Chain A
Amino acid sequence: MRRFTAALFLIGLGVMIAAIYQHMDFSNTALNAGQAINSVAAQETGAANFVTSVVLAYRGIDTLLELTILFTAAMIGGMVLGKRRVDAPRDPDAGFILRTGADLLFPLLLVVGLYIILHGHLTPGGGFQGGVILASAFFLPLLARPGSSINQDVISIVEGLAGATFILIGLLAMSEGYEFLSPLFDKGELGALISAGSLPVLYLAVGIKVGSELAGLLAHLAEAEAVD
């Protein structure tokens, strides 16, 4: 019965996608928001990467809500996992290759993550992608040495400060008489590292928040006792 239902669902999905494919005109886009943003984004926000100007300048509040969703997910993950039993056995230390590889990769991942975050307004990438790379950089030593752990208090303080910075910049824009989270400061030269006003600061806050949150979640998961 379950297989029959699954097959029925799949056939229905296939028919739906085929119907959409028949009627969709891939050469012409129905919306012209993309062209409108392409023509004005560089002058209005000063960011060379238009995706960033949409994510942080035109749709900053969506990014804030996205961060809230991520925060809720990470918090609930921590709540479900709970504390480990005191007498639970630890995993043995990893082998030579993983330990040396973790030591070698840690600085590289840190540099790549920070590069992607800080160049978010110039090249593809930004706070979310760089933050995930930062989280994996801080998680790698835990994989190599299962006995060690990340200080969860420091992580929550860093995460809270980054989130507060994001909201404070938004409120600063309001106190200057603009709308919440609208871009501030001098736009600078298009394509320069220090340009686009407050967007790089916002992305740095996003990156640090995402990175610390996911590192905390991964550390929490790795800390939980394994079932054999």
Chain B
Amino acid sequence: MEVVVLIVVIVMLLSAVAVMLFKDFLAALAAMTVVSLGLSFLFVVVRAPDVAMTEAAIGAGLSSLLFALALRRLGLWRSQ
């Protein structure tokens, strides 16, 4: 189990760095969603299913949707 958690944490850290490095805004948004999904997995591991559901629904689902729509409004959402 600890190995799985370690892998998830490393993936989260890598995608968090990727958010800053990606030039494409949509790709950065996808990387941000990966961080949220990893976090919701970690919440399940520490037996907080309520928080995990909230993180998956709001952090990964709704906020990425809001960011995508905001990028669309600003005209930054087309892939280069």
Contacts and interface: CB of A to CB of B under 8 A. Distances in A.
Interface string B49-75: 110111001100110011001101111
Contact of B58 (A81, A128, A228): A128
B73 A129 contact: no
Contacts of A116: 53
B50 A133 contact: no
A208 interface: no
Interface of B: 49-50, 52-54, 57-58, 61-62, 65-66, 69-70, 72-75, 77
B69 A218 contact: yes
A226 B73 contact: yes
A171 interface: no
B64 to A, nearest CB: 11
B73 A125 contact: no
B53 A124 contact: yes
29 contacts: A81-B73, A125-B50, A126-B50, A128-B57, A129-B50, A129-B53, A129-B54, A129-B57, A132-B57, A132-B58, A132-B61, A132-B62, A133-B57, A136-B65, A139-B65, A214-B62, A217-B66, A218-B65, A218-B66, A218-B69, A221-B66, A221-B69, A222-B69, A224-B69, A224-B73, A225-B73, A227-B73, A227-B74, A227-B75
Contacts of B66: 217-218, 221
Contacts, number: 51
Nearest to B65: A218
A5 to B, nearest CB: 15
B50 A226 contact: no
Grouping DSSP codes into helix (H, G, I), strand (E, B) and loop, the A interface class, with mixed when no group exceeds half, is helix
B65 A128 contact: no
Which residue, of A129, A217, A221, has the highest number of chain B Cβ atoms within 10 A? A129
Which residue, of A81, A128, A132, A225, has the highest number of chain B Cβ atoms within 10 A? A132
Contacts of A221: 66, 69-70, 73
B13 to A, nearest CB: 13
A26 to B, nearest CB: 11
Interface in A115-142: 116, 124-126, 128-129, 132-133, 135-136, 139
A212 to B, nearest CB: 14
The 6 closest A-B pairs by CB, nearest first: A227-B75, A124-B49, A221-B69, A132-B57, A129-B53, A51-B50
Interface string A209-225: 00000100110011011
Contacts of A226: 72-73, 75, 77
B77 to A, nearest CB: 8
Nearest to B55: A129
Contacts of A125: 49-50, 53
A214 B61 CA distance: 12
A109 to B, nearest CB: 11
A89 to B, nearest CB: 13
A127 B52 CA distance: 14
